[in-house]
Amino acid sequence: MDGIDVLIAALRVVGVFALVLLATIINVWAERKIVADFQNRLGPMRAGPYGILQTLADAFKLMFKEAVIPRNVERLVYHAAPFLAVVPALLIAMNIPWGRPFTIGEREILLQGADLNVGLLFILACSSMAVYAVVLAGWSSGSKYPLLGGIRGTAQAISYEAAMGLALVSVVMFSATYPGAEGGTLSLAEIVERQAGTWGGIVPRWNIIPLIPAFVIFFIAAIAETNRAPFDLVEAEQELTGGYFTEYSGIRWAMFFLAEYINIFSMSALTATLFLGGWNGPTWDGVLPAWISAILPTVWLFLKTYVLVFIFFWIRATLPRFRYDQLMQLGWKRLIPGAVLWLILSTVVIGFRQFGAPWS
């Protein structure tokens, strides 16, 4: 660990940070454009070509806006809550492998903030920390609509976290079936590496193919965890005038939205990493120039991520919001039993294939 290693680590972290912020700028614009297309409107058109600078303009406007702070807020918590929303969102993005590791000289450079042995658990921990922002913002505002939004947020996060965790277990178990692997893994870099190659030379060895029920459950839970439509009861404009961030304005309000869009992006990237093979894809090493082969994995991951981001926007434009009891029923009576059933089924099948029949 010398100076250059420290520098590389710092560059990796700053790189992921910049990537996530840049993606957020594009995603906000993309969502407005896509939803506008769904609704037969034009969407933002004025700022820059096709309105692509609209997000920047909005961000500057929000920065210079007066931050109105109501008299009844609990000041300390009220000021801390927007940061509590952004930090877990960034930490999740830090843990995702954004491309194939490459070597310069003798150093191997990971395109990842950090490759943790407990990567998947770390991500679950961060996403369970994210709920504090909603709860504390709702409570500290000292007003009834934010409080209701905060309480809804807690109940929703607890319900869907369980389904999410259960769906992930089969991914970890399935990673043990990769040829030459000793046991499963929780490290995201290894999960991606174990999706390399194909079945029979045609079908890519992605986790989604054997584990499609887990993918469906995980993706639904991911939408619920990011509080996106149709699970956006936390901020339901019609009932709660915005929910937990009703009393926020200016740049603090913008930080909640920043966190939401970072979460959409990193949850899509996480789903692509876990189920769609991450950065795996044809790179034509040796045929193309080396630098193109080094960049291609990142391009594949971005393509997969943006397919999922588009699905996020598509669902938002298409489906109406759930009622609160429907939300709870879907979580506890459909997703969690479904996840448990799938867990038992996949355990039996994977165990059978790894160790043979129990009577043999």
| Count of Cβ atoms closer than 10 Å to residue 108 Cβ | 10
**Helix, strand counts (H, E) of the chain:** 13, 4
By CB under 8 A, is residue 131 in contact with another protein?
yes
Instruction: Identify which of residues 246 and 305 has a Cβ nearer to another protein in the complex.
Output: 246
Q: Shortest approach of another protein to residue 342 CB, angstroms?
A: 20
By CB under 8 A, is residue 13 in contact with another protein?
no
* Residue selected from 186, 189, 240, 259 as contacting another protein according to rule CB under 8 A: 186
Instruction: Identify which of residues 118 and 292 has a Cβ nearer to another protein in the complex.
Output: 118
By CB under 8 A, is residue 98 in contact with another protein?
no
By CB under 8 A, is residue 25 in contact with another protein?
no
Give yes or no for a contact between 208 and 275, defined as CB atoms under 8 angstroms apart.
yes
By CB under 8 A, is residue 244 in contact with another protein?
no
Q: Shortest approach of another protein to residue 30 CB, angstroms?
A: 31
Is cis: bond before 230, omega within 30 of 0? Answer: yes
Give yes or no for a contact between 205 and 320, defined as CB atoms under 8 angstroms apart.
no
Which range touches another protein (CB under 8 A), out of 8-16, 62-70, 154-162, 349-357?
Answer: 154-162
CA distance readout (Å), 283 to 23, 100, 198, 277: 24, 10, 14, 14
* Residue selected from 122, 160, 256, 312 as contacting another protein according to rule CB under 8 A: 122
Size of the site for another protein (CB under 8 A): 27
Name the token pair of 265: 């992006």
By CB under 8 A, is residue 342 in contact with another protein?
no
**Which residue shows structure tokens 């920390």?**
129
Name which of residues 51 to 90 contact another protein (CB under 8 A): 74, 77
Dihedral angle of Cα 120, 126, 128, 131, to the nearest 10 degrees: -150
CA–CA gap between residue 51 and residue 31 (Å, rounded): 12
* Residue selected from 132, 265, 275, 302 as contacting another protein according to rule CB under 8 A: 132
By CB under 8 A, is residue 139 in contact with another protein?
yes
